[in-house]
Chains A and B, each alone.
Chain A
Amino acid sequence: MEAIALPDRQNHIHRKGEAPFAIRCNSDSLAGAVSQRACVFCGSRVVLYPIADALHLVHGPIGCAVYTWDIRGALSSGPELHRLSFSTDLQELDVIFGGEKKLYRALMELIERHAPKAAFVYSTCIVGIIGDDLDAVCRQVEEETGIPVIPVRSEGFKGNKRAGYQAACDAMARLIGTGDTAGISRFSVNILGDFNLAGEIWMIRDYYRQMGVEVVANITGDGRVEHLRRAHGAALNVVQCSGSTMQLADMMEKKYGTPSLRVSYFGIEDMSEALYDIARFFMKKYPDDPEAAAIMERTRELVRREVAALLPQLEEYRRALSGRKAAIYVGGSFKAFSLVKAFRLVEMDVVLVGSQTGTPEDYAELAAITDPGTIIVDDANPLELTSFLKEKGVDVFVGGVKERPIAYKLGIGFCDHNHERKEALAGFTGMLNFAREVYSSVMSPVWRFVPGRADSGHSVTT
């Protein structure tokens, strides 16, 4: 039988229990393997995208800008400049003679038109090749307009998506520390790595409000330039989706001494733990402060109330889904940890879990929390995923838009957990939405017509 994966891909795949844990990851994608990954630019773009009052100008030919136009479900409570797609739309002559002049004029034109609080200028593949001096143009425009104009080093070929996260963090680091921190509570946090998909950060902020914890900056969901500038005034960085913003937290720890906590807002277990971790942090930091104890008390009350409301509602879904099989393939593996736990809560078995950008530590953790026989895969592609899904007899596949048609062609249910989704899946309410999403796909009557499904009662020969 033909091997599922190309020889050069085989050490990116681990079957738990069949061999000691080892996996190759965080490397360049193999040519011709049809990776589900994007590029450096994508990494930067998704992280900075939700900063809603900044201008996001893509310096390059039209593709990079047009494929990322309004791509995320990242909501804003105010300005919506982030939802527009700005490009210098470089043409042949610009490539030959350089794009600096066009970039300068485009920036001046757009800043005058939209009066943004800052501008991010994304470098794309060919800008790195033709050697436009982005720094010089940005510096000049910054001087002339008085707003921060920040180059983002996101040439597509200079690594993978993770390098793009780094470039985005470097860009944000230039804003942090430039604002006034007066009046910030000592019980305060920054939210890192939540992108306010379907309004999720508003739910999280509301939890913090109920606890008595002030949020200084959303990084980056419903983000604002002014808030980023004073983010160094927060007592703690609470980091979700650690792949994308951990570098920023590390930088802030080094420069401003801001400690950080890694959390996840997905699933009851992780959501509760996130809130308790923050309360514990303040208890430890201010052991004799009654307000710290009060925060802990309010946190307990909040979790108790939310969980008590949620569990009975989950029951119906758990009964229906119990024993079904799930597969997970997501961008960052940190989200996968939570999903494994969330599926466990409704008694579903995770049989396949993978990510585009996991690190060795991430995969080791996945190997530790999954059941024997689970396939763990790094930087997979459609053919590998198809084989694994078939082999494991999966009922529902969690992924993004690119994974959806794979599931559907195989006659498998699907739940979108990527950045285009319009359903809030974080927080306590999010767990219920997640269960409902999975339930509404798994329980649909349409599968009985799908030829490949064993339970299809179709009588027409196809």
Chain B
Amino acid sequence: MGNLLLFISVTNAMALLEFTDRGIYCARADVYIDPWKPVDRALITHGHADHSRWGMKAYLSTHSAGPVIKYRLGDIRLQTVGYGEVTTINGVKFSFHPAGHIIGSAQIRVEYKGEIWVASGDYKLEDDGLSEAYEPVKCQHFITESTFGLPVYRWTPQEEVFADINDWWRANAAEGKVSVLTGYALGKAQRLLHGLDSSIGRIYTHGAIENTNEVIRAQGIKLPDTIRVSKEINKKDYPGQLVLSTPGAVGQPWIKKFGQISLGAASGWMTLRGARRRRGADRGFVLSDHCDWPQLLEAIDLTGAENIYVTHGYTAIFSRHLRTLGLNAVELETEYEGELAEMETKQETMKG
């Protein structure tokens, strides 16, 4: 794959953005987008660990993504801008546009002398009511993920998924069981909270999730009431209630205190029977903050771009399909991991 990278940077030597082993690079402005190795200046699409990494000298993100990035990366030099606001560096215009992935997530638009690129980070088209809703941005060069870039991935509308989740909670409550629902601490957890029916019972949260909730509430975003799981809570309080947990905590002794549980997992991967069984969850709910197959194709169509760079997911298959549609699509090897990273960064979620 090293060859592929080299090939692209050579043929695009004059291009506005190039793909290097540190990340997506704009030479003219000397900035990187979501770099995975330390650089001087980084533009960050959103706060997930594979896009927002430690070690950059200076960071730029949206206002609403800022608090979480600061919380996760600690003492960094971070500047924030509003959506649509233009920052000009050596003549190159940079602006952030809603990506609909998580709170504060953005597509980064880069323009120089009429050449327009959009690096979309992670995104979804369905408005989850919490993240700033996705807005298509016209461009000639579109950098896209393809986490679920296979035609087997088609989401059902979120109302139906949440109705299933709430029914599951109700049924568990009737049996006196604790409903343990897993989702990544940043993004999925808040989206689940937003869709849960608080009239069924109380919602308890794992520490890593509650820490993130606190950061998000502090920036003025309203989330349903939650109670942090702690030693002080009487174990008899849990039956019938719901515990929101990180996927990583499920294999830990932490989970034992809840007694009889039903385990639910919410993720796009739950589409596949194999993935549902591998997670050992009692219930798999298909809920993702990424695009499904039809959404990916729609998004690409909406940009009007003819040059598509596919960064992570089923890159080879998805770009081949785009080529059959007459687009100039190439696959790139990056270190972005999409929903896999969000599900499996256990160490990090355990910190809180």
Same complex for A and B? Answer: no
